[in-house]
Homo-oligomer: A and B are copies of this chain.
Amino acid sequence: MQRPRTRAPGVATVADVAREAGVSRATVSRVINDSPLVTPQTKDLVQDAIRRTGFVVNARGRALAIGRAETVGVLITEPLDELFEDPTYARILRGVTEGLSGSGTLPVIFQASTEAERALALRSFDRKAVDAVIHLTPYRDPELLDALAGTGLPVVLCGQVENGAAPDPRFSSIYADDVAGARLAATHLAESGRDRIAAVLGPLDNPATTDRLQGFRDVLGPRLPSERVLFTGWDTSAGIRATQTLLELFPEVDAILAGSDRIAVGAIAVLNAQGRAVPSDVAIIGFDDHPIAASAVPALTTIAQPLQRQGELAAHTALQMIAGQSPTVSELDMRLVVRASG
């Protein structure tokens, strides 16, 4: 039954190598995992045999034997379109890859935008097809989090934490403090003497939005009344629409705190179209340090998240949890990047 059809020629196993080298399978295994308990000459012997037979360790056999798949699942539940438009995930992913490199553990991406995909990914996790999960988009979704906790796998939440909420003790989390970042932006604007400040934020139901708003308010208090706070989508066209509305409601505005760099770019476009100069008439601060921030005209002052660093930390944390460590919480600092726009 094992091997229903004839074995493909050339898929050598440790047994084949052992025979070829005239040693035991245990010795071959030791060489593979370069154990110090092997004589240089037997080691050479085995390595020669490995070369001759074209042997490659079989991941499935190894996984069963060592009790690990040497794989971490990177879960992305974000809708595809957003994912493929927003370099945020690309950068975090790069960090994860770096952080895992050298560990012998491979990051493997689980795209789970739909309910069905989510179910499949969870099934894999339940079955222990990976050793840990790094969740890149842990937006409020208690059911998913419960399901993840239910897998019994180490889980690292990366990049989001609702401010105020105590971190979930079931998971590790890595996040940058949106509230503190927003404070940086608001402080910068306030110190520059602007006082007719408005905010154009992302979707109200997104924790990043509420956190950023709170940061703005921490600094500005009554100088940022509710009627000057607009909520819209994350992208440029949403920024355009919202800014048009804003200028009707509050034409005296001399500074705009944007919820994202793309929103900020939309705001600049509208202001320019209406003959208002940025930053002399209206200062603008973005958020995220998206690539367009540097190339925008004028270049955007913005708040940078250490995305790649987040990914690296998430990877390290996952590895430590696989090794038995308890969940930890890491908070990273946001950074104000001053450019021309405000």
A→B interface (CB under 8 Å)? 2-3, 5, 8, 10-11, 56-65, 67, 69, 71, 80-81, 83-87, 89-91, 93-94, 97, 101, 106-111, 114, 116-117, 120-121, 124, 126-129, 152, 291, 324
Contacting residues, chain B, for A109 (C-beta < 8 A): 108-111
Count the copies: 2
Known: A86-B84, A87-B84. A64 touches B67 (CB 8 A): no
Interface pair A97/B81, CB less than 8 Å apart: no
Closest partner residue, chain B, to A113 (CB atom): B94
Contact B64 A127 (CB under 8 A): no
Chain B residues with CB under 8 Å of A83's CB are 84, 90
- The CB with the most chain B CB atoms within 10 A, among A114, A116, A127, A324, is that of A127
User: Shortest CB–CB separation between residue A310 and chain B, in angstroms?
Assistant: 15
Contact B59 A124 (CB under 8 A): yes
Q: Complex Cα distance A120/B69, Å?
A: 14
In Å, the complex CA distance between A324 and B5 comes to 10
Instruction: Quote the shortest CB–CB distance from A145 to chain B (angstroms).
Output: 19
- In the complex where A84-B85, A97-B111, A152-B8 touch, is A57 in contact with B90 (Cβ < 8 A)? no
Write the chain B residue with the least CB distance to A110. B108
Max count, chain B CB within 10 A of own CB: residue among A10, A59, A64, A120:
A59
Question: In angstroms, how far is the closest chain B Cβ from the Cβ of A327?
Answer: 15
- Contact residue among B8, B86, B111 (Cβ-Cβ distance under 8 Å from A93): B111
